[in-house]
Structure 1
Amino acid sequence: MTLHLAWNNEQEQFEISRELIELLDTLLQKAAAAEGIVDGEVALTFVNNAQIHELNRDYRGIDRPTDVLSFAMNESVEDEPEILYEFEEGEDPGALPEMLGDIIISVERAKEQSEEYGHSLERELGFLFVHGFLHLLGYDHQDEASEAEMMGKQEKVLAEAGLVR
């Protein structure tokens, strides 16, 4: 099996190019390889600040926009609908990749941050994507040690792809 990136663009302010998706797919493959993940699926959705603000408020209780949200499939959220897939007769359940989770990125916020930090939008989107992916795997940054570990992993993957500051 392989690792698959499924993506959707729900914002209209910025163009999402084929080259950007290829870059994010490369980052996914590198980050997954570093973590020993060989198959699965990650769903990525691009939104604007208003959309991510609503999600952040509804799912995290934080009433402001953020840059990236991750929803791991191995975690449950209160009142989350249960989704069941019905297999057709003769269909192999093992043929479906394991869904690792969803990553939601505000392209509007990523653009703001790229300007603030003085690097490219591609680098900022790559950073947010790898950050979100590591959250799907259970990494967090609640204290200095876990933040340093997560940042080190992110920067290593970004450097391997040539996305340096």
Structure 2
Amino acid sequence: MANSDLTLEWNSEQDHIEITPELIAKLEELLRLAGEMEGVTEGEVALSFVDDEAIHELNKQYRGINKPTDVLSFAMSEAGEEEIEIHYDQAGEDEPDEQPGEGEEDSFIEPLGDIIISVPRAMEQAEDYGHSVERELGFLFVHGFLHLIGYDHQSEEDEISMFAKQEDILQKAGLSR
């Protein structure tokens, strides 16, 4: 199993369900599995559990869609912006300048982005689909993570591919329908 430095930071701004340590452990497992599948070995994902009002406002503000949705993803970097800037000394030598506290940089975890999930939507969808709220939250989390790393579902082909990946990850974590 590959060593992973993927981390999950989360908060809950809703009072519809209790966010249990078991749920967080399952989401961390999903993050690890998705990262392994996609070759993403490090980074931090910030997850917020919110209500419909909060996600409605975010959807309106950032996507121009005036209604609630189930999940939103905000990637910290777009494809191609991952280049590291190296500073050279004024003599033009090929060695990077030594920066104070350079060893501290090693502990910095690059943020991949934010995932916001509407808990009331997840609860409704779980009931509609006839599976657990845990599975629906897992599905939405994996869906959001795949968006953070560049997946989209604008075409039918892309949607089929993305949803197949999601199902594979959920199955590996024991979250079947």
1:121 pairs, out of 121, 133, 154, with: 133
2:148 is aligned to: 136
2:35 is aligned to: 32
Amino acid at match of 1:136: L
Q: Which runs of 5+ in 1 are unaligned?
A: 76-86
Query: Over aligned residue pairs, what C-alpha RMSD do you find?
Result: 1.7
In the alignment, is residue 58 of structure 1 matched against residue 61 of structure 2? yes
In the alignment, is residue 47 of structure 1 matched against residue 59 of structure 2? no
* 1:51 CA drift (Å): 0.4
2:81 is aligned to: none
Distance in 2 separating the partners of 1:38 and 1:11 = 30
Larger C-alpha radius of gyration, 1 or 2?
2
Distance in 2 separating the partners of 1:89 and 1:144 = 49
1:102 is aligned to: 114
Amino acid at match of 2:32: Q
Distance in 2 separating the partners of 1:119 and 1:4 = 27
Amino acid at match of 1:32: G
4+ long deviations beyond 2 Å: 87-91
Go from structure 1 to structure 2 and tell me whether the alpha carbon gap of 1:122 and 1:88 turns closer, same or farther (over 3 Å shift).
farther
1:12 alignment partner, SS class: coil
1:95 alignment partner, SS class: coil
* 1:94 CA drift (Å): 2.8
* 1:93 CA drift (Å): 1.8
TM-score for the superposition, normalised by structure 1: 0.90
Amino acid at match of 1:105: I
* 1:12 CA drift (Å): 1.3
Distance in 2 separating the partners of 1:88 and 1:158 = 44
Distance in 2 separating the partners of 1:11 and 1:88 = 42
Distance in 1 separating the partners of 2:21 and 2:104 = 31
Distance in 1 separating the partners of 2:51 and 2:103 = 38
Report the identity percentage: 60
Q: Which runs of 5+ in 2 are unaligned?
A: 79-98
Mean CA deviation greater in 33-42 or 87-96: 87-96
2:95 is aligned to: none
TM-score for the superposition, normalised by structure 2: 0.84
Amino acid at match of 1:115: E
Aligned residues: 155
